[in-house]
């Protein structure tokens, strides 16, 4: 007997869900599991809108299950903690990111790399250990295993801290893994959106020289004057790009549409690294001789482990880094998605769930 | 001469006006492809066979620049003396040269410079035939100048050293690989990776510091700056050591750089030719478990019994490839024809590395999801620096690693080139220069 989303679990929940690949979100009644011994029940205050939410609700990657409640940049207050939970108490300010589960026994899980566990469970559009569908943070509350909950530092504001749970760790992790933290080295950041703008801030905190590469000339003032980038290149300006050939130690590419890698590889010095974080829906074209002639590499990275996510939050709190956000009420979420599709946001929408989600 | 920057993006085809010479800036060689046949610039020794049309493919997909000589006088000088190769330098020399893109080699008289203070002069005993030589004699990459004397796997005995030479003396067994010069002052040169110096000078078809064309090892004598000469350890036979100077270092360097040299690591080698067979030997000596990946099932026996590979995967066999997914820590891909890399990325474990040392001219499809989900990388590598080349030879001597060769006489060279084109060699031809190369 198939249970409906409302009756599946004992705790009533309410959120907004997409029902089909049109991606239009609308009010949705469902339920959350009982708070288990390892679990924490969180009243959600804010949830960031990640571009992945847009890809997911429109089934652009082809593995959508509806109804889909997106949202994996969740911050809120602990309402209840299970009897084995020691890290969190009622009233704590906590966050949940892109994962809510993993096998917890493989090599990757044991090395704090839950994000690379073959059985890793996404916060939404996935299936939990008990076989039920996971619903994300565009909702009033969530029940999560304590291992996948992080503390939001006291110094960090809730709304502007929410996007760090995906965007923040997604750029912080590769910077550490690929060795992009040596002060004075030159990092290029492609795309000045949700990921890109956080990357600029974190890179500056690491002492790197930062050049933003963007297709929008209008973003130069923001990039340089407000975010602190050292330089700005318009990707459609061949002469300026050419003049910068061979000048960068690494590049972080946040662009999620299909785009040319050749000019980016040319911007790298020999032994340079191009790390791609965006998830286009088609393969990219990779020219090989620039890789061979300059011993360059293209690498990927996918969010970060739980330990690293906490480390990132603490690092950001210490350096006063938060996302630049536009806080919106829940009923504006479809408008926000339409604007996001046109990159019309500086630089992350954050839904004020607690104050605007009404049944 | 004109300088034209051509860019083609997915949004529009933009052809800019020719830029006047005085407005041009220096190009970073490692990031641009020069297709001007008069340019003297960076070429990868390991670039593959291609059709003439591939030049257009290249220009359609990348930023290219057509270079002009930064010294117009030199260009003119070069053109003048190119007609008199015998008179260019004081020391008479002879070798085999291709005269045109037919690629046919014939006896050629030319000259070498006098032994400078830092130079080492040596009698060439053997020279390996690298597949790059075949591409170059046929001008398949568009960078060849004729007459062209190929050969960058050169070994011999020192006959004279300059007054400031410290590392070598007369009688020493030495070798020269793919480079004979670099700027010696940039970061790359200071860090022992002269192969990534923007001003690196190739052993043949390059332009030396004095403006003259470099001629390679299909010749009786070489004069080379001591910095670019390596010692061939006594334990290595000269003839079977020659191919290590290109094929050997091309595999050794990425195994070290990408951390695929740890005991117990599982490494894949794609392609079992001149590069691949040496790669298997090095990887085994470094303690790796080695799987050869090839399109030819017929190579399996040799791979395992002769070269010591632990296993063999036929890349066209879906079932085999599927069963091996997620088993390799790294892959060195020596194949230079266009081929799909998605199955290779699938063979890698999480954090695995795919390293390409052959460079197809057309871009390959890069599936992004597997790269991200497994935090994998795709990288490249091109020969190695001088220090590392010496280290590689010493390692080879210690572990008894040489290439599997077929020694040929100089007059067989054109037949050898034809056989090489068909992959009909186990696994490198080596020309017995000292005994069979005769003056033209």
* Distance of residue B242 Cα from the nearest chain A Cα, in angstroms: 23
Phi/psi region, residue B287 (left: phi>0; alpha: psi -120 to 50; beta: rest), is left
Confidence check: pLDDT of A124 > 70: yes
Q: What pLDDT shows up at residue B39?
A: 32
Confidence check: pLDDT of B21 > 90: no
Average pLDDT for residues B146-160, to the nearest whole number?
97
Confidence check: pLDDT of B297 > 60: yes
The answer to whether B364 contacts A286, with C-beta atoms less than 8 Å apart, is yes
Q: What pLDDT shows up at residue B83?
A: 59
- Give A289's pLDDT tier (boundaries 50, 70, 90): confident
Confidence check: pLDDT of B372 > 90: yes
Residue B130 DSSP code: -
Confidence check: pLDDT of B50 > 50: no
The answer to whether A276 contacts B371, with C-beta atoms less than 8 Å apart, is yes
Residue A122 DSSP code: E
What tens digit of pLDDT does each residue of B214-262 get?
A: 999 999 999 999 999 999 999 999 999 999 999 999 999 999 999 999 9
The answer to whether A292 contacts B369, with C-beta atoms less than 8 Å apart, is no
Residues on chain A touching B183 (C-beta within 8 angstroms) = none
For chain A, what's the residue count?
359
Unique residue bearing structure tokens 């050591």: B241
Residues on chain B touching A239 (C-beta within 8 angstroms) = 5
Confidence check: pLDDT of B161 > 70: yes
Q: What pLDDT shows up at residue A168?
A: 97
DSSP 3-state assignment of B267? strand
Distance CA B299, CA B301 (A): 6
Average pLDDT for residues A333-339, to the nearest whole number?
97
When mean pLDDT is compared across A7-16, A201-210, B356-365, the lowest value belongs to: B356-365
Q: What is the mean pLDDT of chain A?
A: 95
Confidence check: pLDDT of B56 > 80: no
Q: What pLDDT shows up at residue B2?
A: 35
Confidence check: pLDDT of A294 > 80: yes
Residues on chain B touching A55 (C-beta within 8 angstroms) = none
Q: What pLDDT shows up at residue B107?
A: 96
What tens digit of pLDDT does each residue of A146-190 get?
A: 999 999 999 999 999 999 999 999 999 999 999 999 999 999 999
What tens digit of pLDDT does each residue of B310-353 get?
A: 999 999 999 999 999 999 999 999 998 889 999 999 999 999 99
* A-chain residue closest to B7, CA distance: A238
* Distance of residue A196 Cα from the nearest chain B Cα, in angstroms: 17
The answer to whether B379 contacts A286, with C-beta atoms less than 8 Å apart, is no
Token reading at A158: 């809730």
Q: Which helix (H) or strand (E) holds B353?
A: strand B348-356
Q: In percent, how much of chain B has pLDDT > 70?
A: 81
The answer to whether B375 contacts A300, with C-beta atoms less than 8 Å apart, is yes
Q: Which helix (H) or strand (E) holds B415?
A: helix B413-421
DSSP 3-state assignment of B365? strand
Confidence check: pLDDT of B68 > 80: no
Average pLDDT for residues A106-126, to the nearest whole number?
96
Distance CA A154, CA A314 (A): 10
Q: What pLDDT shows up at residue B440?
A: 66
- Closest to A70 (Cα-Cα) out of A144, A136, A164: A136
Q: What pLDDT shows up at residue A358?
A: 73
Confidence check: pLDDT of B61 > 80: no
Average pLDDT for residues B19-48, to the nearest whole number?
36
DSSP 3-state assignment of A342? coil
Q: In percent, how much of chain A has pLDDT > 70?
A: 99
Residues on chain A touching B31 (C-beta within 8 angstroms) = 245-246, 265-268, 290, 293-294
What tens digit of pLDDT does each residue of A221-274 get?
A: 999 999 999 999 998 888 999 999 999 999 999 998 889 999 999 999 999 999
Task: Find out whether B221 and B112 touch, Cβ atoms under 8 Å.
Answer: yes
Question: How many C-beta atoms surround the C-beta of residue A341 within 10 A?
Answer: 12
Q: What pLDDT shows up at residue A155?
A: 95
- Give A280's pLDDT tier (boundaries 50, 70, 90): confident
Residues on chain B touching A242 (C-beta within 8 angstroms) = 5, 25, 27, 63, 65
List Cα–Cα distances, A274 to A177, A251, A264, B343, in angstroms: 13, 5, 8, 21
* Distance of residue B427 Cα from the nearest chain A Cα, in angstroms: 23
Residues on chain A touching B14 (C-beta within 8 angstroms) = 238
Confidence check: pLDDT of B40 > 60: no
Residues on chain B touching A296 (C-beta within 8 angstroms) = 379-380
Q: What pLDDT shows up at residue A357?
A: 81
The answer to whether B363 contacts A262, with C-beta atoms less than 8 Å apart, is yes
Q: Is the ipTM of this complex over 0.95?
A: no
Q: What pLDDT shows up at residue B401?
A: 97
* Distance of residue A55 Cα from the nearest chain B Cα, in angstroms: 14
* Distance of residue B106 Cα from the nearest chain A Cα, in angstroms: 31
Token reading at B280: 């298997």
Question: What is the distance, to the nearest Å, from the Cα of residue A10 to the centroid of all Cα atoms in its chain?
Answer: 30
The answer to whether A288 contacts B356, with C-beta atoms less than 8 Å apart, is yes
The answer to whether A246 contacts B30, with C-beta atoms less than 8 Å apart, is yes
What tens digit of pLDDT does each residue of B250-273 get?
A: 999 999 999 999 999 999 999 999
């Amino acid at each position: 007997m198939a249970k409906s989303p409302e009756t599946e679990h004992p705790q009533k929940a309410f959120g907004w869900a997409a029902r089909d690949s049109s991606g239009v979100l609308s009010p949705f009644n469902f339920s959350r599991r009982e708070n288990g011994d390892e679990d924490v029940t969180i009243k959600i205050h804010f949830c960031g809108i990640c571009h992945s939410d847009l890809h997911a609700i429109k089934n652009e990657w082809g593995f959508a299950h509806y109804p889909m409640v997106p949202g994996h940049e969740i911050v809120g207050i602990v309402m209840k903690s299970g009897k084995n939970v020691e890290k969190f108490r009622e009233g704590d300010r906590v966050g949940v990111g892109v994962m809510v589960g993993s096998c917890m026994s493989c090599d990757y899980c044991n090395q704090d790399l839950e994000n690379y566990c073959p059985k890793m469970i996404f916060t939404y559009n996935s299936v939990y250990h008990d076989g039920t569908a996971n619903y994300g943070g565009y909702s009033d509350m969530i029940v999560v295993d304590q291992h996948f909950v992080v503390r939001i530092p006291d110094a960090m504001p809730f709304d502007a801290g929410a996007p760090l749970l995906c965007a923040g760790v997604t750029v912080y992790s590769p910077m550490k893994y690929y060795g992009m933290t040596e002060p004075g080295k030159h990092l290029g950041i492609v795309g000045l959106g949700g990921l890109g703008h956080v990357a600029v801030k974190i890179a500056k905190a690491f002492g790197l020289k930062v050049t933003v590469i963007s297709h929008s000339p209008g973003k130069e003032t923001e990039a340089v004057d407000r975010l602190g980038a050292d330089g700005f290149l318009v990707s459609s300006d061949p002469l300026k790009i050419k003049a910068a050939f061979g000048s960068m130690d690494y590049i972080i590419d946040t662009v999620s549409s299909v785009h040319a890698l050749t000019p980016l590889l040319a911007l790298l010095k020999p032994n340079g690294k191009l790390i791609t974080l965006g998830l286009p829906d088609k393969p990219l074209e990779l020219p090989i001789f620039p890789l061979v002639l300059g011993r360059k590499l293209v690498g990927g990275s996918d969010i970060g482990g739980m330990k690293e996510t906490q480390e990132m939050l603490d690092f950001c709190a210490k350096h006063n880094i938060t996302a630049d956000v536009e806080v919106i009420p829940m009923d504006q979420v479809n408008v926000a998605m339409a604007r996001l599709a046109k990159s019309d946001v500086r630089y992350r929408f954050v839904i004020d769930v607690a104050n605007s989600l009404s049944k | 001469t004109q300088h034209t920057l051509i860019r083609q993006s997915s949004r529009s085809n933009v052809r800019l006006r020719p830029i006047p010479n005085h407005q041009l800036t220096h190009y970073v060689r490692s990031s641009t492809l020069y297709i001007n046949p008069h340019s003297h610039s960076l070429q990868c020794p390991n670039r593959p066979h291609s059709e003439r049309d591939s030049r257009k493919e290249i220009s359609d997909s990348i930023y290219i620049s057509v270079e002009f000589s930064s010294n117009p006088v030199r260009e003119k000088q070069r053109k003048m003396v190119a007609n008199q190769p015998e008179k260019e330098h004081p020391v008479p020399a002879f070798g085999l040269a291709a005269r045109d893109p037919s690629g046919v080699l014939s006896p050629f008289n030319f000259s070498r410079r006098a032994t400078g203070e830092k130079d080492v002069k040596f009698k060439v005993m053997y020279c390996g035939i690298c597949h790059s030589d075949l591409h170059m004699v046929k001008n398949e990459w568009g960078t060849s100048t004729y007459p062209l004397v190929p050969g960058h796997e050169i070994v011999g005995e020192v006959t004279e050293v300059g007054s400031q030479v410290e590392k070598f003396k007369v009688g020493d067994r030495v070798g020269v690989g793919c480079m004979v010069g670099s700027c010696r002052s940039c970061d790359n040169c200071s860090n022992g990776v002269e192969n990534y110096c923007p001003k690196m000078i190739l052993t043949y078809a390059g332009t030396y510091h004095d403006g003259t064309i470099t001629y390679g090892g299909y010749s009786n004598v070489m004069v080379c700056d001591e910095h670019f000469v390596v010692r061939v350890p006594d334990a290595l036979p000269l003839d079977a050591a020659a191919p290590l100077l290109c094929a050997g270092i091309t595999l050794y360097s990425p195994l070290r750089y990408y951390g695929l040299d740890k005991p117990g690591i599982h490494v894949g080698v794609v392609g079992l030719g001149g590069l691949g067979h040496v790669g298997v030997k090095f990887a085994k000596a470094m303690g790796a478990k080695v799987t050869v990946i090839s399109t030819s099932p017929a190579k399996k026996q040799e791979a395992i019994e002769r070269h010591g590979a632990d296993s063999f995967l036929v890349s066209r066999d879906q079932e085999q490839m599927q069963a091996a997914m997620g088993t390799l820590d790294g892959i060195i891909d020596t194949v230079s024809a266009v081929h799909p890399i998605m199955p290779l990325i699938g063979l890698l474990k999480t954090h695995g590395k795919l390293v390409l040392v052959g460079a197809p001219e057309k871009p390959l499809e890069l599936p992004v999801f597997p790269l991200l989900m497994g935090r994998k990388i795709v990288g490249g590598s091109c020969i190695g620096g001088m220090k590392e080349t010496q280290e590689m030879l010493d390692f080879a001597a210690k572990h008894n690693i040489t290439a599997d060769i077929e020694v040929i006489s100089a007059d067989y060279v054109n037949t050898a080139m034809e056989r090489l084109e068909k992959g009909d060699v186990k696994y490198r031809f080596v020309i017995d220069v000292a005994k069979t190369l005769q003056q033209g």
